[in-house]
Structure 1
Amino acid sequence: MLKSVLALSLLAPTTVLAQGVSSSADLLADAKDDRWSVGVAVAVRDSPYVGEGTRVRPLPLVTYDGDRFFWRGISGGVHLVQSEAFSLDAVLAGRFDGFDIRDLSRAGLARNGLDATILEDRDDALDAGLAASWRGSAGELKVSALADVTNASGGYELAVDYAYALQWGRTTVVPGAGVRWMSSDLVNYYYGTLDEEVRRGAPRYQPGSAVVPQVSISFSRPVGEKWRVLGGVDYRFLPSELTHSPLLEPDTNGSAGVRLGISRSF
């Protein structure tokens, strides 16, 4: 049975906008019954934030798939209900949408009407929630609901993802598509100006909730008996609520990411 690994961001989440719990697997684990795999990966994302440029992050690839518990990259959880065609999981997932103001361009922020000296960093977060998956000959559909339990933004996200695995020789290729609805608290925190920043003189920008579509394609290829090369690319289409943010580069329409890693199964 093919096992999928949750999204790794550049997240950052990716990034990421939320990394979330994606059916469009960014990395694929060994198709054998080995429960453990360990490896490393590099995630690269074109950041939409003013002057930040390209984010490059090394990531550990630690995967465990048990009968009850699982850990996949930067996410994990418990199988509440599990069968060949359906699973319901309680999950924890890292959200790496945060940034440090010092990594952004002061001149670029000024052109967007923001004074960097009165702005605050945005923190990464840990999300918790539920994810339900349906699997069959037509692919996999996953629906998830996650909320920020660290109170960085205090927001939540609802997501629907679809993926279909294709086999080309020894290589598995997984195209996928999904859409995420992000609550107003979540969007306002990562893409708007905070109340304390407004009190210091920043213009108020609180766009409210937003819908973010995404497409991706991932691959996995074995190298010998135990090793596997993994990778993927994705593109997130940013709606106007986000692209009009003064924290973002002007004329930004989306964000692209690339991941590449290697792992060994046990």
Structure 2
Amino acid sequence: MKYPLCAALALLATAQMPAVSAEPRQWNVGLAATTDQSLFVGGDAQIGVKPVIIKENGFDIAGPAWSFSATPAREFYIGAGLDEWDHERGDSPALQDMAELDRAINLRVGGAWKLATGTVSADLAQDVAAHEGAQAKLRYTHHPDTPLTLRPYAELQWLSADLTDYYVGVDAAETKAGRPAYQADAALALKLGVTVEKPITERLTLVGGVSATGYDSTIADSPIIDSNTVFGGYAGAAYRW
């Protein structure tokens, strides 16, 4: 089957839904400005915005997601969102003669579990719009006992060959002096970061985070990649409605 994850999502959608609480639902959402260093030769940092969703159940699930099965100790979810990879290659002048890339849209399924000192989450994503590749992420988030909601995390990523070759591969038609053909295989990455939440009022919370992501030689050896480690961060606010 071309999209095995899509089939899994369809099956999950038919699962029995948990009982809906009679308590009124509250939303703690907002926006954050983001900046991410470019991996690509001559690429500029990505500047943008992203939604902020503070989930007060303590599971630390990244991005928009909908829970279809939850208990106080674990949660399973499905979700969708734009891929984090820079499909514009940092607007690099040196790479403008290469084929344009489309923005990937991921369908996601995953779960999160609470531990004594934090949470563990596993997330599988399948693109349905561009490279049709997949990626898997396994994250541990530590929950220290501090006045701030300060949460360091470590995330191991697996990237399929379809994904990596789409972004860092070089086709024969794109070669030139100093840019040989390159076909990328599946790759691994390690992301380390910390997020922080600081309530200002009963309804307003400031949020922020910084991260560093290191890629293995499959990514780093591509002739269009400038560095195997990139840094990023965000800052914003959320409001409880």
Partner Cα separation in structure 2 for residue 159 and residue 36 of structure 1 = 26
Aligned to 1:206: 183
Whether contact under 8 Å (1:43, 1:258) holds in the other structure is yes
Aligned to 1:260: 235
Paired residue type of 1:236:
T
Which of 31, 47, 68 does residue 40 from structure 1 map onto? Answer: 31
Shift of 1:234: 0.5
Which of 106, 116, 120 does residue 99 from structure 2 map onto? Answer: 120
Please provide the CA RMSD for this pair.
2.5
Partner Cα separation in structure 1 for residue 43 and residue 110 of structure 2 = 32
Q: Gaps (5+ residues) in structure 2? A: 1-23
The 1:101–1:225 alpha-carbon spacing in structure 2 relative to 1, beyond 3 Å, is closer
Whether contact under 8 Å (1:130, 1:144) holds in the other structure is yes
Q: Deviation digits for residues 227-250 of structure 1, max 9, x if unmatched?
A: 11100111001111111112212x
Q: Deviation digits for residues 101-122 of structure 1, max 9, x if unmatched?
A: 681032xx5xxxxxx42x1122
Whether contact under 8 Å (1:96, 1:124) holds in the other structure is no
Shift of 1:193: 1.8
Q: Does 1:138 align with 2:117?
A: yes
Shift of 1:66: 11
Shift of 1:219: 0.5
Shift of 1:178: 1.1
Report the 3-state secondary structure (helix = DSSP H, G, I; strand = E; otherwise coil) of the residue aligned with 2:162: helix
Aligned to 1:9: none
Identical positions, percent? 21
Which of 202, 219, 243 does residue 196 from structure 2 map onto? Answer: 219
Q: Does 1:52 align with 2:40?
A: no
- 1:1-266 matches, within 5 Å, as 35-61=26-52, 63=53, 75-100=63-88, 103-106=91-94, 116-117=96-97, 119-150=98-129, 152-169=130-147, 171-194=148-171, 198-199=172-173, 201=175, 203-249=180-226, 252-266=227-241
Paired residue type of 2:88:
D
The 1:41–1:199 alpha-carbon spacing in structure 2 relative to 1, beyond 3 Å, is same
Report the 3-state secondary structure (helix = DSSP H, G, I; strand = E; otherwise coil) of the residue aligned with 1:120: coil
Higher-strand-fraction structure: 1
> What count of residue pairs does the alignment treat as equivalent?
212
Whether contact under 8 Å (1:98, 1:121) holds in the other structure is no
Partner Cα separation in structure 2 for residue 180 and residue 101 of structure 1 = 20
Whether contact under 8 Å (2:28, 2:55) holds in the other structure is no
Partner Cα separation in structure 2 for residue 138 and residue 265 of structure 1 = 26
Paired residue type of 2:84:
F
TM-score normalised per structure 1: 0.72
Whether contact under 8 Å (2:38, 2:90) holds in the other structure is no
Partner Cα separation in structure 2 for residue 227 and residue 240 of structure 1 = 43
The 1:60–1:160 alpha-carbon spacing in structure 2 relative to 1, beyond 3 Å, is closer
The 1:47–1:56 alpha-carbon spacing in structure 2 relative to 1, beyond 3 Å, is same
Aligned to 1:19: none
The 1:201–1:237 alpha-carbon spacing in structure 2 relative to 1, beyond 3 Å, is closer
Whether contact under 8 Å (1:177, 1:214) holds in the other structure is yes
